Amino acid sequence: MNNIKGIIFDLDGVLVFTDHYHYLAWKKMADSINCYFDEIINNKLRGVSRMASLDIILENYKGIPFTKEEKEALAFKKNEIYKDLLKKMTPDDVSRDVRDTLAELRKRGYKLSVGSSSKNAKFILKQVDLIDSFDAISDGTNITNSKPDPEVFLKGASFLGLNPQECAVVEDAYAGIDAAKAGNMLAISIGDATSYDKSDIKLTKFSDLLLYFK
């Protein structure tokens, strides 16, 4: 790994766990329009942008199709509920394993960035007191194409002043591993994505990163 100078981390499912908050917020929105939604569908939304997530959820909607404006209103409503739930997050929502590993990687000279499709990424990082652990943040506010498009990671690399080949990506979603590979980066999986054969390195726990990045 001696060519790697920067590591880009997905947020949801890697640094913090917001899946359940996404679920609760989408569920409330789906119930309000009588649309079936469950945790299995929610799992398909990892790494997927807000509007693309809504389209996946609406595949189960049997009523008259919504206009673009109505869809935007539904996504807005979900996000208001989601943001309210995020306010409950505290620094205790980040494990010691994650916090100490990030600090050690920085100490070893690696540049660190977040690479998340979420437009709420900075808000979440502030809530859990992780915002100062990174040299750059690339998120849903600076991209037009979400994962599996590599844009969010390519921007992350450029914010760090590095070439994609000098960067590794840590991801829990298949779409994120695809994005890393499409961007010509080393793809490291954790959680669900470890069962994806496209990932280059599989982590059992976050601090295993220290075994690869000396």
Of 35 and 115, nearer to Mg ion (C-beta) is: 115
Contacts of 115 (CB under 8 A, 6+ apart): 8, 9, 10, 138, 139, 152, 153, 155, 156, 169
φ, ψ for residue 53, nearest 5 deg: -65, -45
Active site residue 92: no
97 an active-site residue? no
Is 187 an interacting residue with respect to Mg ion (CB under 5 A)? no
The answer to whether residue 148 forms part of the interface with Mg ion (CB under 5 A) is no
Work out whether 93 is an interface residue with Mg ion (CB under 5 A).
no
Judged by the rule CB under 6 A, the positions of this chain that interact with ligand G6P are 12, 22, 45-50, 53, 79, 116-120, 140
Q: In whole angstroms, what is the distance from residue 192 CA to residue 190 CA?
A: 6
Q: Around Cβ 81, how many Cβ atoms within 10 Å?
A: 18
Please, which residue, 6 or 47, has the CB nearer to Mg ion? 47
Binding partner of 172, given ligand G6P, Mg ion, none, CB within 5-8 angstroms per partner class: Mg ion
Q: Residues 6 or more apart from 68 whose CB is under 8 A from it?
A: none
**Cα 95 to Cα 63: distance, rounded to the nearest angstrom:** 43
* Closer residue to Mg ion in complex, CB, 164/176: 176
From 12-20, 88-96, 125-133, 136-144, give the range in contact with Mg ion by CB under 5 A. Answer: 12-20
Dig out the tokens for 181 from the structure: 């590979």
Query: Does position 15 bind Mg ion by CB under 5 A?
Result: no
CA distance 186 to 180: 7
For the CB of residue 184, give the shortest distance to ligand G6P in the complex, in Å.
21
Catalytic residue, candidates 10, 149, 172, 178: 10
Q: Which is nearer to ligand G6P, 18 or 101 (CB)?
A: 18
> What spatial distance separates the first Cα and last Cα of the chain, rounded to whole Å?
9
Q: What is the contact surface with Mg ion in residues (CB under 5 A)?
A: 10, 12-13, 46, 172-173
Mind telling me the catalytic residues? 10, 12
